[in-house]
Structure 1
Amino acid sequence: METATKPVNEFVARLGLLDATMIVAGSMIGSGIFIVAAEVTRSVGGAGWMLAMWLLAGLVTVIAAVSYGELAAMFPRAGGQYVYLREAYNPLVGFLYGWSFFAVIQTGTIAAVGVAFAKFTAYLIPAFSDTNFLLDLGFFRLSAAQLVSIFVIVLLTYVNSRGVKEGAALQTFLTIVKLLSLFGLIICGFIWGAKADVWNANWQNAWHLASLTKNGDALSYTTLSALGAFGAIAIAMKGTLFSSDSWHSITSIAGEVKRPERNIGLSLVLGTLVVTVIYVLTNLMYLAVVPLNDIAFAPSDRVGVVAADYIFGNSGTIIIALMVMISTFGCNNGLILSGARVYYIMAKDGLFFRKAGQLNQNDVPGYSLWMQCLWASVLCLTGEYNNLLALVIFGVLIFYILTILGIYRLRRLQPDLPRPYKAPGYPYLPAVYVVIALALAVLLLFFETKYTLPGLGIILAGIPIYYWLIRQPD
C-alpha cells in the first residue's frame, strides 16, 4: 500500500484554525446525539435532570478542553495525550494509554461508528441490514452491515493516506454539513414540531429523580435516593460524556497545524463550545416535540428518528438516516485522521511496530493508518466492538484525570518550560474536572463492575508488553 518512504520523517504544517476546529467538532459528533437521550431519560426520569446531564457533560468537556490547551501549547507536536502522559509521568504511563488507545479506545470507536453508519444506511438500502447475513458458519457470521462498515473504514483510511490536507478538507466539508443539518433539525423542530402541551407535560416533575421501566404498555417510576441516585447520574453521565468524546483528537496531529501553540488551544475551545450548544439545543428540541416517555422508550433508543417522525411525518426516517450517515462518516474520518499519529509517535519511541514510525510520500504515517484500519476492521468482524468500548470507559476517565493532573505536575517539575497558553482558572478550574471525573469513575467502578474491572485488566495487560518491548534490540 506504500510506494515510497520519505528519507526524513517530518510532518508538514498545512492545517489552519478552521480545519483544526472542524476536526474537534467533527470527531465529537457521531450517532450519540440521536440515541443517548433515551438511556439518559430512563436513568434519571425528569426532563430537568435529563437536560442537566447534557449541560454538566458540556461543562466538564469544555473545562477539560481549555485545560488541555496548556499541554498542547507546551508540546505542539504529534502524539497528543500519549505525549502529555509520557512527559508528565514516565514512558510506561504514556504507553499504557497508547496501548489501550490502539487495542480498543480508538479502533473500537472507529468500528462502532462504522457499524452505526451501516445500520442507518440500511434504512435507505435494506440489503445492508445487520440481519442480512452473507456468511453463516455457526461460530462466525458475516453481515452486510459489517462489510459496509469495513468498506467505509478502508475508504477513509485511503483518503487520509493521500495527505493530511485531503483528510482535513473532507472533515471540514462534512462537519459544516452536519452542523448545518443539526441546526436545521433544531429549527424545524421548534417551528413545526413543538407543541405547548408536550413541553408542559414533559416539565411536570422535571426534578423528580427516578428510574423509568416499561413492562408491556405499563410504565413505572422508581424514586431514587442516596447511593442509587448517584449511580443513576453516573450511568447517565457515561452516555452524555462519551457522546462528547474524542474532542482531543486535534492534539494528536498538532505537528501538522499552523501556529499550534495558538490554534490547538483555540480550536479545542471553539469546537467543544459549538458542540455543547448544539447538544443542549437538540435535547431542548426533543423535549418540545416528543413526549418524555417516547424519548425514554424510543425503538432501539433512536430518539432522533422518533423526533423526525413527529416533525416531518413518514419522511422523517429518511431525513435522520441521511443525517446520521453524514455525521458518522465525518466522525470516523476525524478519528482515523488523528489516531494514526499516536501510533507514529509510539513507534518513534520504540513502543510500536517500527514501520508505523515512517511517513509516506504524502507526509502522513501511511503504515500507521493501515495498521489502525486493519485492527478496526477485525473488531468490526468480531461483533464485540460495543462491548470492548464499554470495557475501557473507566480507563478512559482515569487517563483524562491523569492528563489534567499532569498540568499540576509539570508546573512543579518543569516551571521554566515555555507556556504560550496557560489553563484558565488554574488551579481551581482543572480541579473541578478532576473531582467530577474521579467521582464518576468511582461510581462506575461500583455500579458497572462487569465493564470497569475487565477494562482495567485490558489496560494493565499493557505492563508486561511494555517491558517486553523495551528489552527488544533496536
Structure 2
Amino acid sequence: MDKGSFRRRKESQNGSTGHTEHTNHTKNVKATVLQKEVGLLSGICLIVGTMIGSGIFISPKSVLLYSGAVGPCLLIWAACGVLATLGALCYAELGTMITKSGAEYFYFMEAFGPLVAYLYSWTTVMVLKPSSFAIITLSFAEYASTPFYAGCTPPPLVTKCLSAAAIFLIVGINCLSVKLASYVQNFFTAAKLVIILVIVGAGIVLLAQGNTENFSNSFDGASPSFGAIGLAFYNGLWAYDGWNQLNFITEELKDPYRNLPLAIIIGIPLVSVCYVLVNVSYFTVMTTTELLQSQAVAVTFGDRVLYPVAWMIPLFVVFSTFGSANGSCFTAGRLAYVAAREGHIVKIISYIDVKRYTPSPALIFNGIIAIFYIIPADINTLINYFSFAQWAFYGLAALSLIVMRFTRKDLHRPLKVPIVLPVIVVLISCYLVIAPIIDKPELEYLYCTIFMFSGLILYYPFVYRKVEWGRKLMRPITMHLQLLMEAGPPEKIE
C-alpha cells in the first residue's frame, strides 16, 4: 500500500531543495485529506436540499393510491416526518460518537464487525446510492424536457440523455471543489424553498376562501391492507430520504459535535411541516380522482392556481431535483471513498485529488454506475427496490446503536438519546421491510436480497484473504488511473 501522496514522492525526488521548500511553506500546504469546509448553514442546506428533491412532486400520487383517502394520506405524510426525525436523532448520537465520514459503514464496523460493514458498502455503493442518483436525475430530466413536448410525453431517449448530462455536470462540479458543490447546494436549496412557500401560500389563501370540500369525510372509503400501508410509507419516506446525509461527511463538518445534531433538529422538522402543508395545498384544488390522474401533481396545481405564471412550477421543480441530485452525489462519493480506504473496494477509489482535495475517483465511479441505472428509466420500480434495502440498513443502524450501548460503553457520547427511540426505529423498519413482501411478493425483493449477499463471493478472496494475484492485477491499473486523475492516497493525520 502507498505510504504518501504525489507531493511527498515529488519532494523526495527533488532532494534537499524540495525538502527546504516544504519547510519554508509548511503553513501553506494542506495534507492530502478531506478538508473541514462544511459549516452549519451548508449542513442544513445539505439535509433540506437532499430531502426536498423529486419526492414531493412524485410521491403524493402513490401515497394517496396506497392509503385510499385524503385523511390517511395526510397522516402518513406526518408519520413519515416523525419517523425520519426519530431515525435522524439516532443518527445524531451515532455521528457524534463515531466522527468518521461514511455513516452506517463505520457504525456497522464498530457494532457488528467488517463483514456486515462490507455487505453494506457493497450494496450501497453498487446499488442504493447510484440508483438514488439515477432516480433523481430522471425526475429532473422529465420536468426539464416536458415544456418542449406540449401535450405529449417526452421521448424516453431524450429523458435518458438529459439525465446522463445532468449526472456528468453534477459529478464535474463535485470533483472541482467542495466549496463549489456547497455553494450550488445552498443556491438550489433556497430556490426549492421558494417554490414550496409559493405552493403553501397559495394553499392557505384557497383554504381561507373556503375550498375545503376535499377535507370533509376525509377518511371515507379508506381500507388499506397491511402491505398497502407499507407501500404508502415507502413512497412517502422516499420523499423524506436524505435525513441521514450529513453523517456521510462528518470528517468535513466543522465542529460536528455541535453542528451535526443542530442541523438535524432544524432541517428535518422544517421539511416535515413543508411536506404536510404542500399536500394540504394539493387537496384544496384537486379531488382524489384528479390527483391520481395527474401526470405531474405540482404542475397541475400550478396550471389551476398560478396561471399565467404557472411556468414557475416546472422551472423550480427542475431546480429542486438538480439540487437534490447534487446532494446525493456529494454524499455518495464519501461512502465509496471510506469503503475503499478501509480496503473493501479497489484502492484507487480511496484516492484524493492532490490539487482540489476532493474524492474525485469515488465521485466518478458513482456517476458511472448511475449512468447504467438510467437505462431502465422505471422510477416506481427503482423506488421500491431502493426503499426495501435502504430501510433494512436503517433498522440495522438503529440496532447498532442499541448494541453499542452495551458493547462500547467506553465511547464518548456528546448526545445520548433515550433507548426507546432506536427500539421504535428497529420495529418500524422491520415492518417496512416485511409487510410489502407478505402482502405482495415480487421478484425484485428476491433479486435485491441475492445481490446483497452476492458480495460474499468477492469478500472472501479479495478482502478477507487478500489474494496476491488480485493486487498484482490492479497495481498497473491503479498507477495509470492515479496519473490520469492526479490523485494520491489519503494521508494519515496523527
Which of 396, 407, 423 is the equivalent residue of 1:402?
396
| Deviation for aligned residue 1:188 | 2.2
Alignment pair present for 1:152 and 2:145: no
Aligned to 1:379: 373
| Deviation for aligned residue 1:385 | 6.4
| Deviation for aligned residue 1:5 | 5.4
RMSD: 2.0
Residues 149 and 334 of structure 1, relative CA distance in 2, 3 Å threshold: same
Alignment pair present for 1:278 and 2:282: no
Using the alignment, how far apart are the partners of 2:236 and 2:459 within structure 1?
33
| Deviation for aligned residue 1:249 | 1.3
| Deviation for aligned residue 1:86 | 1.5
Aligned to 1:220: none
Aligned to 1:53: 76
Aligned to 2:319: 326
Aligned residues: 438
Cα deviation 1:264-290 (Å, max 9, x = unaligned):
122122221111111011011112222
Aligned to 2:263: 267
Residues 84 and 422 of structure 1, relative CA distance in 2, 3 Å threshold: same
SS of residue in 2 equivalent to 1:340: helix
**Which structure 2 residues correspond to residues 173-184 of structure 1 after superposition, within 5 A?**
173-184=187-198
**Which structure 2 residues correspond to residues 345-424 of structure 1 after superposition, within 5 A?**
345-360=338-353, 361-383=355-377, 387-423=381-417
Alignment pair present for 1:84 and 2:107: yes
SS of residue in 1 equivalent to 2:49: helix
Using the alignment, how far apart are the partners of 1:190 and 1:308 within structure 2?
14
Alignment pair present for 1:185 and 2:181: no
Using the alignment, how far apart are the partners of 2:121 and 2:440 within structure 1?
24
Alignment pair present for 1:434 and 2:426: yes
Residues 269 and 187 of structure 1, relative CA distance in 2, 3 Å threshold: same
Contact 1:45–1:209 (CA<8 Å) still a contact in 2?
A: yes
| Deviation for aligned residue 1:386 | 5.2
Using the alignment, how far apart are the partners of 1:57 and 1:24 within structure 2?
16
Which of 421, 425, 435 is the equivalent residue of 1:443?
435
Aligned to 1:108: 131
Cα deviation 1:288-323 (Å, max 9, x = unaligned):
22222212332x3x211221122123642x222112
Alignment pair present for 1:253 and 2:241: no
Using the alignment, how far apart are the partners of 1:193 and 1:324 within structure 2?
24
Q: Which runs of 5+ in 2 are unaligned?
A: 9-30, 472-494
Contact 1:48–1:203 (CA<8 Å) still a contact in 2?
A: yes
SS of residue in 1 equivalent to 2:53: coil
| Deviation for aligned residue 1:194 | 6.7
Mean Cα displacement is larger for which, 263-272 or 394-403?
263-272
SS of residue in 1 equivalent to 2:163: helix
Q: Which amino acid aligns with 1:89?
A: F
| Deviation for aligned residue 1:190 | 2.4
Query: Normalising to structure 2: TM-score of the pair?
Result: 0.84
SS of residue in 2 equivalent to 1:449: coil
Query: Normalising to structure 1: TM-score of the pair?
Result: 0.88
Mean Cα displacement is larger for which, 307-316 or 429-438?
307-316
Q: Which amino acid aligns with 2:317?
A: V
Contact 1:85–1:94 (CA<8 Å) still a contact in 2?
A: yes
Aligned to 2:38: 15
Residues 103 and 6 of structure 1, relative CA distance in 2, 3 Å threshold: farther
Alignment pair present for 1:339 and 2:351: no
Using the alignment, how far apart are the partners of 2:209 and 2:109 within structure 1?
53
SS of residue in 1 equivalent to 2:312: helix
Q: Which amino acid aligns with 1:432?
A: I
Which of 65, 75, 91 is the equivalent residue of 2:98?
75
Aligned to 2:52: 29
Contact 1:186–1:285 (CA<8 Å) still a contact in 2?
A: yes
Cα deviation 1:416-467 (Å, max 9, x = unaligned):
11111112xx111222222222122220221242132222122122222222
The structure with the largest alpha-carbon Rg is: 2
Cα deviation 1:120-156 (Å, max 9, x = unaligned):
11123339x97436xxxxxxxxx12211111111111
Aligned to 1:204: 216
Contact 2:132–2:386 (CA<8 Å) still a contact in 1?
A: no
Q: Which amino acid aligns with 2:291?
A: I
Q: Which runs of 5+ in 1 are unaligned?
A: 134-142, 211-223
Residues 439 and 209 of structure 1, relative CA distance in 2, 3 Å threshold: farther
Residues 389 and 353 of structure 1, relative CA distance in 2, 3 Å threshold: farther
Contact 1:46–1:203 (CA<8 Å) still a contact in 2?
A: no
Contact 2:185–2:327 (CA<8 Å) still a contact in 1?
A: yes
Residues 447 and 6 of structure 1, relative CA distance in 2, 3 Å threshold: farther
Using the alignment, how far apart are the partners of 1:205 and 1:6 within structure 2?
70
Contact 1:78–1:342 (CA<8 Å) still a contact in 2?
A: yes
Using the alignment, how far apart are the partners of 1:311 and 1:131 within structure 2?
24
Using the alignment, how far apart are the partners of 2:374 and 2:184 within structure 1?
23
Residues 411 and 343 of structure 1, relative CA distance in 2, 3 Å threshold: same
Cα deviation 1:366-390 (Å, max 9, x = unaligned):
1111111111112223435653443
| Deviation for aligned residue 1:36 | 1.3
Which of 42, 61, 64 is the equivalent residue of 1:41?
64
Cα deviation 1:34-89 (Å, max 9, x = unaligned):
12111222222221111000011000000000110011001112111111111111
Contact 2:228–2:439 (CA<8 Å) still a contact in 1?
A: no
Aligned to 2:116: 93
| Deviation for aligned residue 1:17 | 0.5
SS of residue in 2 equivalent to 1:313: coil
SS of residue in 2 equivalent to 1:36: helix
